[in-house]
Amino acid sequence: MKKRITLLVALLVSGCLFAFGQASTVKGVVKDGQGLPLPGATVVIKGTNQAASTDLNGKYSIKADQTATLVFSFIGFDNQEIPVGTQTEINVTLTSNNKQLNEVVVVGYGSQKKKDITSAIATVGVKDVSARPIVNSSEILDGKASGVQVFNASGAPGGGNFSVRIRGASSPNGSEPLYVVDGVIVTNTASIDPNNIESISVLKDASAAGIYGSLGATNGVVLITSKKGSSSGEPKVEINMYAGKQQIVKKLDMLNADQYRSLIADEYANAGQTAPAFPQNFTANNNWQDLTYRTANQSGINVGLSGGSEKGTYYLGLGDLNQDGIINGTNFKRYSINLNLEQKAKKWMTFGTNIAYNRSNGRTVNDNSSANHGGTVLAALSTPPIVPIFGANGMYQSNSDNTTNPLDDIYSPNNQYISNNLLGNIHTEITLPFNIKYRSQFGISLSNYNQDSFTNPLTNQGASQVNGIGSNTNNETFRYTWDNTLTYSTVINKKHSITAVVGTEAIEEKYHNDYLYGTGFPAGITTLNAASANKQVSTYRTDWTTNSYFGRVNYGYADKYLLTASLRADGSSRAGINNKWGYFPAVSGAWRISQEDFLKDNNFIRDLKLRAGYGEVGNLPQTIYNSYSTLNPTGYLFGNNAASGYYPTNPAGNPDLKWESTKSINVGFDITVLNDRLTLSGDYYNKKTTNFIFPVVISAAEGGASNLKNTNLPGHVLNEGVEFSLTARIFDTQDFKWTATLNASFNKNNVSGMPQILDANGNKVDQTFPFGGIAFGGNGNATNLSIVKNGLPLGAFYGYQFAGVDPANGNALYKTANGGTTVNPSQADQAYLGSGLPKAVYGFANTVSYKNFSLDFLFDALTGNKVFNATRVETEGMYLIGNASTAVLGRWEKPGDITNIPAAVYGGVNSAGASTILPSSRFVENGAYLRLKNVSLSYLIKSGLLDKQGIKVRVFATAQNLFTITKYKGYYPEVNSFSGSSQNNGSLGAPSSTAVGIDYGTYPQTKTYTAGINVTF
């Protein structure tokens, strides 16, 4: 009996197991929230590779047993899991995740959902920062946003001087954007470690930037938000470490010893002179580039600690960066800390602070200067190979013309600097009745820079004659900003959404600069107090303020019709006393067509929005005390007695000076299709800057000893263009994903309407302003390479049109204004030679992942721009006794030679009496390039033990500037000698907008290879 019962139970269990294990067909339909079928949705049996896809009607069919769980997924929708059980028909409605449209974007004095934006605002991802050796925050923007060009002027350690242009160059007084870090307005991003950045928003048009009025928003606004803690309650630690190598992108081919001697013989012969004999010890054959440049190390470590609860959050970031330069002896070190705290004191009150501090130090060399002035880069090119490193006296050997060799420039001057940057704010937010929030924020920005330099009299011949040369530069900029805002937000009848902001802002900035100089130092003492001769002291102080009132209203109806309007009033001590106040209105609107009834049932278009906006923004004058003529102290003799007094300086006061003003129109669209697989944005803009400020020559009767006065001139700078950004999820499966973003910007820049003046002959001619002055050969007489002139782009190259070489005598030929050629052109023959501003900027960013592997790569490109290769004036001018490039091997040497390289003539004056180094198209080159800016391969290490402990480990390898396709003959086409206050001085100056794309011995760019590890737990 027991055996029978046991058998019966066994049969029942077996039957049940068979029933549950037997696969049956499950069918159904997958729809979206609007009831429309989703073709191409994926249905997967969880934990297996068994899958099916829905057809055009959203229908599917799959075999699954009763213990299985089906996972339904579709791009742009949340996944849904449903156990099969006894069901044979499972119909599913997937919920849209709307992640992209509901993304919160930081805007001026607030934030908005991306779907509600009515202006041209770009958001830039920062997730790749931890896998790249990014030193300067501006580099994050490179290639990531349409209409934004990021330009690194040099490869110096510390990031060089980055320039960011948003929709072209707008003003002759600078074209850098306004930066706002955690609500604090700053002039640059030197104070923040890129690894501590959470998000970046770029306000590209005036309707978005108008809320910042006159504070520099003429050139756009970059909003940076630093990382904050999470209220999840779990502490989180992020560690990022990397190390790598840097090397020069390329070296230039220069003459060897025999070729150099032949060149010098030609130079003197063509000048009708006898070549002098070289010193007896000039028997070397040095490659000075090999002696100057090295493979340099770079390493960094960043640690982030974050966490919090419902009561408050915290984030602490620590960073250490050590970067050697590719020029021997140069380096940069930075230590940074970032602390963000938020505390909810009451249900109705929160307060917090954001503090970012870094301290950097380094050693620099002089660049962007001729070899005669200690320019290391040009010295490495122009020092003859026959010059030995050291002379018989043990000092560094100079050339016959006393030009120092590059090792002397590197090691004799000890140029050390220290920089401290502090950026911080404290803020509180109080919730008031009637949906009103009050926020008050007080922020400070402090930048201090100190440079000590001492030139060793034991190694440098010039310093030995005065027993050492010492100098010290110390400057400090302190700015405070106090904002107070009231924000009202409400929704009426579920259709009318209203958000209004009103506020005030007060800014004060103080600056001081001290310079000390002296010679005659006792042996072994290098401090300036020991100087006994040529003592010089110079001090400079400024102080300016701005008070502002602003307001903005955002209105939306039924999530379809959106309107934004703002007004800002600024009053500043930097404007003329009769024009202290400027008013800057802005308005923009958008129509979300996809929310209309006739598109709601459309299964192709996910979102479609048309945008249009108009706005006005301003730019403060660069000088501080514009209303008043300034005086400088001086000493003089009164009888036989020394007395103190003052003398007038430039510029003369102008109490009527106005703001520069930019009026901008923007029309654009955003469209998302194929369930978020494809997103396209496009914009047309027209941006016109008027009232631009120039120093105009005035009569002695008007200005006294001052002969210049800052004046608002008629005319305008126009930037007009279109830009596009296309993002595609090319593949998006469980194991393989590929997302690509292509952006393209096309801009036309033009100056017009400037006044006419009378020339020496009484004829009316357009008034012009020259810029980009370079003293070739260090002779002290600057040659201007660029100009501001009607009908040309801002800061266009202007000079003579090279027309070849006369085969009879080797003299250069130039085109004349009437279409002929001449060997001795006049100023009237000068013409437009091109512009350093690109006509088109491209970026192509990609993220490809397969299981635990991820590959990120970024291409960027410029077209339509020129580079004035002023370095070639020194290396191909053949007018001094320095070395030359191998290009001069093709120079004219005898009558009948057909070549494009003129005869070598010592002294730089040919047989026709004309200069051999006239600024001409001979030295203007195509600056276009296509570059693989960055490529990074990473692997996420998967381990049961690591997963159990909540630890994520990712290893990566990165290469930057891996290759560049260009026709440019210099080191690198991304270059600008006029990149701000002296290059590589540890501070970020304001790059010139009127002298762009000039290469004159600039610190070369680098290729960088790094490997690192990210750990999160």
Lowest mean pLDDT among 99-108, 212-221, 229-238: 99-108
Alpha-carbon distance of 408 to 366, in angstroms, equals: 11
- Among 224-228, 682-686, 697-701, 923-927, the least confident range: 697-701
> What is d(CA 687, CA 703) in angstroms, rounded to the nearest whole number?
34
Q: Which of 200, 197, 195 is nearest to 334 (CA)?
A: 195
| pLDDT at residue 703 in the model | 55
Rounded mean pLDDT, 172-201? 86
pLDDT tens digits, 608-626: 999 999 999 988 777 888 8
- The pLDDT value recorded for residue 458 is 95
Q: pLDDT tens digits for 705-725?
A: 567 888 999 999 999 999 999
Closest by CA position to 727, among listed 679, 675, 670, 681 = 679
Mean pLDDT over residues 662-679, rounded? Answer: 93
Q: Which 3 state secondary structure label does DSSP give 423?
A: strand
SS3 content of the chain, % helix, strand, coil (to 5): 10, 50, 40
pLDDT for residue 985 is more than 60: no
Mean pLDDT of 953-963: 95
Task: Report the relative pairing of strands 436-455 and 413-432 from DSSP bridges.
Answer: antiparallel
pLDDT number for residue 919 = 95
Specify the 3-state DSSP secondary structure of 593: helix
pLDDT over threshold 60, residue 185? yes
The per-residue pLDDT of the chain, averaged, comes to: 89
Phi-psi region of 145 (alpha: psi -120 to 50; beta: other; left: phi over 0): beta
Question: Residue 790: pLDDT above 50?
Answer: yes
pLDDT at 922: 97
Give the model's pLDDT for residue 705: 56
pLDDT at 835: 96
The separation between the first and the last C-alpha atoms of the chain, rounded to the nearest angstrom, is 62
- Average pLDDT of the residues in 258-280: 95
d(CA 729, CA 676): 8
C-alpha torsion sign, points 939, 941, 947, 952: negative
Peptide bond into 457 cis (omega under 30): no
CA distance 377 to 266: 25
**Mean pLDDT, to the nearest integer, of 987-1007?**
81
Of 589-603, 808-822, 960-974, give the lowest mean pLDDT range.
Answer: 589-603
Which pLDDT score is estimated for 374?
Answer: 87
Position 483 scores a pLDDT of 96
Residue-level pLDDT at 111: 83
- Tens digit of pLDDT for each residue in 89-120? 999 988 766 566 667 778 888 888 878 888 88
pLDDT in tens, 641-651: 888 888 778 88
Helix (H, G, I), strand (E, B), or coil: what is residue 700? helix
Classified as helix, coil or strand, 522 is coil
Residue pair 881/788 in contact (Cβ under 8 Å)? The answer is no
With a cut of 60, say whether residue 984 has pLDDT above it: no
SS (H, E, C) 121-148: EEEECCCCHHHCCCCCHHHHHCCCCCCE
Q: How far apart are CA 810 and CA 262, in angstroms?
A: 17
Cα–chain-centroid distance for residue 307? 32
For residue 461, what is the enclosing H or E element?
Answer: helix 461-464
Q: How confident is the model at residue 990 (pLDDT cuts 50, 70, 90)?
A: low
Q: What is the mean pLDDT of residues 798-802?
A: 97
pLDDT for 362? 95
Residue 611 pairs in a beta bridge with: 590, 668
Please give the pLDDT value at position 704.
56
Tell me: pLDDT of 981 over 50: no
Q: Is the pLDDT of residue 1004 over 90?
A: yes
pLDDT beyond 70 at 989: no
pLDDT value for 797: 96
DSSP labels, 84-112: -TT-SB--EEPPB--TTTT-EEEETTEEE
Cα separation of 155 and 158, whole Å? Answer: 9
Using pLDDT thresholds of 50, 70 and 90, give the confidence band for residue 701: low
Tell me phi and psi for residue 935, to 5 degrees: -140, 130
- Confidence bin at 423 (pLDDT 50/70/90): very high
The model's confidence at residue 792, banded by pLDDT at 50, 70 and 90, is very high
Mean pLDDT to the nearest integer, 813-838: 95
User: Among candidates 887, 681, 779, which has minimal Cα distance to 204?
Assistant: 681
Q: Residues 731-749: pLDDT tens digits?
A: 988 899 999 999 999 999 9
Give residue-wise pLDDT tens across range 842-857. 999 999 999 999 999 9
Range among 34-48, 154-168, 575-589 with highest mean pLDDT value: 575-589
pLDDT score of 878: 96
pLDDT for 22? 61
User: What pLDDT is attached to residue 700?
Assistant: 63
- Helices vs strands, H then E, count in the chain: 11, 54
Whole-number Å distance between alpha carbons of 846 and 856: 6
What is the mean pLDDT of the segment spanning 655-678? 93
How do residues 294-345 score in pLDDT, each as one tens digit? 999 999 999 999 999 989 999 999 999 999 999 999 999 999 999 999 999 9
